Chains A and B, each alone.
Chain A
Amino acid sequence: MDILLCLKQVPDDSVEIYLKPGTEEVDLDNVTNVVNAFDTYALEMATRFKEAVGGEITAVSVGPEEARNAIKNSLAVGADKGYLISDPAFENADTLGRSEIIAAAIKQLEDERGKPFDVIFCGREATDRATGQFGPQLAETLGTGIICDLVDIEQTDEGIRGKQETEEGYHLVESVTPCVVTVNKPPYDPRYPTIKSKMAARKMKIPVLSAAELEGAEAGEPNVEIIKVYEPAKREAGIKIQEETVEDSAVKAVEMMAEAKVL
């Protein structure tokens, strides 16, 4: 299987992000960028898939020079090749624009290789805006199949079969290839790189694909405009009970709940 993997860097989602006081500016000063968590699951699933059925993983990311790190990290745990798609013209691309840019890059790489990618992996959503639009829109742009929210994948005669998580369990979905898949949290964690693979990844070349090299890659006019940025109204904190004994506290709390008529 020839696999393509899309990676995006986002502000570290383990940090709670707020606005700079009195402004509409999101305070990202002390927040490092990390690879989107769902993309790391996609990388792990793609790597396991490659290990099971053979093939090669090519990782791409749209972003500034810093996004090279995301690709380098993927090369240390499973990806075989990486390309950075970078151009000042791409900077303000929205989801739709990004799917156009990556689709153009994919076509370009497929031309160079002389064969298509079979499966294109991406995360189910990016943790910053969490819209989940990118994967389906990439599939539409490429004209391929799409299966969202996979937690497992296997090869079939005609293509792939995936476990798509649903509220009650899962759908088993089959698709012909090429196919885009978006990955949810599988029942395993992404692996760490080994010291050796990390050192080897450092030495690998990550070519840059810029607008000049990608036919039809345009960020386009954004279809959405952000008018206002603010923090949600905070709920007022009520009363904190800390009586002599825990028992007293509990009794008092029940009294208050009864008074508020919520029991």
Chain B
Amino acid sequence: MNWDNREDVLVFVEQKEGGAVKVGLEALGPAQVLAGLTGGKVIGLVMGEDNAAAVDKVSVLCDEVISVEDENFKDGNNDALTYGLEKIVEKVNPAAILAGNTPLGRELTARLGKRLGLGSAQDVIDLKTEGDQILWTVPVYGGTVLNDIELKTLPLMATVRSGAFSKPEEKQKAEIVTETVEVPEEEIRSKVVDSVKEISEAVNLEEAKVIVTGGRGMGSKENYHLVEELADLLGGVVGATRPAIEDEWVSRDHQVGQSGKIVSPALYIACGVSGATQHVTGMTNSGYIVAINKDEDAPIFDVADVGIVGDVMKVIPVMIEEIKKRKEE
């Protein structure tokens, strides 16, 4: 493949609350694969107000870190971040640009795509290299269909789905290059004037080993406590489907599925979940799936290792008792 004298792979690693976002680190994985093809470096790009913690994380996962620190680059100031990314791309002249498929990752790549006339692959779940061809797998129609797409422009540009790739093995600390980017005032059209946290509890579905999810079949907010109890017992995290969130049984950061989190725990227990594609695409990579549903034809059973046909309100309490017994033994 003709890389047009481009070598390095640039990965934009987003920050949240002073730390690197997990999917940003995961993007360094496929970046390594690409760098193997181009013969260049993987460069992690960190832009923010205070990059110390993120740079620390990124530096052991790539070949070089570029750190751009300025209060202009605080979370939410997307005009500045777009400008900063554009300037770094100009400087590095990369063969590929990767980011996590977060709202910010999507916006930055879209805007850069327009500025530089680039195509991009969004929400990539797999990267395949076949001979000279580089194929990006993206879901369409909510995940029931996949497309392998080829990008016709350089640098290649993509956002990757959370949980789809593993971050690379840690290695020796890479060189850290500090850059400054002055953002001209006229570049800034919109500004974050306030950030409000509505959800206080930290829900980490993506890194959970066990997830217990309740769906519409739980019936009510009161019944939902059973899901929480089972999750607690197993040291897991509570997940939810869209209907459970719309009925306000649990906050939206618990949502698993196409419009929520894509998860891959070792054990996934789906309680009263029918198994709509929008949900299933978010959990189908789990290690072991247990489903409880009173409708024996529920599609969730098509992906479950163990399916229990029965009323969740009767099944879960027995399961809780059984698991407690085993724990005591």
Touch between A and B in complex, CB under 8 Å?
Answer: yes
Which residue from A168, A226, A238, A242 sits with its C-beta under 8 Å from B149?
A226
What is the predominant secondary structure among interface residues of chain A facing chain B?
Answer: mixed
A140 at the interface (CB under 8 A from B): yes
- Contact status B314-A240, CB under 8 Å: no
A96 to B110, CA, bound (A): 9
A222 to B147, CA, bound (A): 15
Known: A18-B145, A237-B302. A249 touches B122 (CB 8 A): no
What is the predominant secondary structure among interface residues of chain B facing chain A?
Answer: mixed
A138 to B163, CA, bound (A): 30
The residue in chain A whose Cβ has the minimal distance to the Cβ of B121 is: A224
A19 at the interface (CB under 8 A from B): yes
Measured between beta carbons, the chain A residues less than 8 angstroms from B306 are 238-239, 241, 253, 256-257
Measured between beta carbons, the chain A residues less than 8 angstroms from B152 are 221-225
B318 at the interface (CB under 8 A from A): yes
- Contact status B113-A26, CB under 8 Å: no
Measured between beta carbons, the chain A residues less than 8 angstroms from B16 are 167
A127 to B144, CA, bound (A): 12
Measured between beta carbons, the chain B residues less than 8 angstroms from A235 are 284, 289, 302-303
A63 at the interface (CB under 8 A from B): no
Most chain B beta-carbon neighbours within 10 Å: one of A95, A161, A225, A232: A232
- Contact status A149-B103, CB under 8 Å: yes
Measured between beta carbons, the chain A residues less than 8 angstroms from B225 are none
- Contact status B148-A226, CB under 8 Å: yes
- Contact status B309-A249, CB under 8 Å: yes
B253 at the interface (CB under 8 A from A): yes
A33 at the interface (CB under 8 A from B): no
Known: A140-B111, A171-B76, A257-B267. A231 touches B189 (CB 8 A): no
The residue in chain A whose Cβ has the minimal distance to the Cβ of B203 is: A167
Measured between beta carbons, the chain A residues less than 8 angstroms from B314 are 246-247, 250
Q: How far is the CB of B154 from chain A (nearest CB, A)?
A: 10
Which positions 152-171 of chain A face chain B at CB distance < 8 Å? Answer: 161, 164, 166-171
- Contact status A250-B322, CB under 8 Å: yes
Measured between beta carbons, the chain A residues less than 8 angstroms from B133 are 227
A133 to B150, CA, bound (A): 17
14 new A-B contacts, CB < 8 A, other than A131-B120, A145-B79, A254-B322, are A16-B142, A17-B141, A128-B140, A130-B122, A130-B258, A135-B110, A136-B107, A148-B107, A166-B195, A170-B198, A175-B189, A229-B147, A242-B308, A263-B234
| Interface pairs (19), CB distance under 8 Å | A127-B142, A131-B106, A132-B106, A133-B106, A133-B122, A136-B110, A140-B111, A164-B76, A169-B199, A223-B113, A223-B117, A235-B302, A237-B303, A239-B307, A240-B308, A241-B307, A249-B308, A249-B310, A262-B288
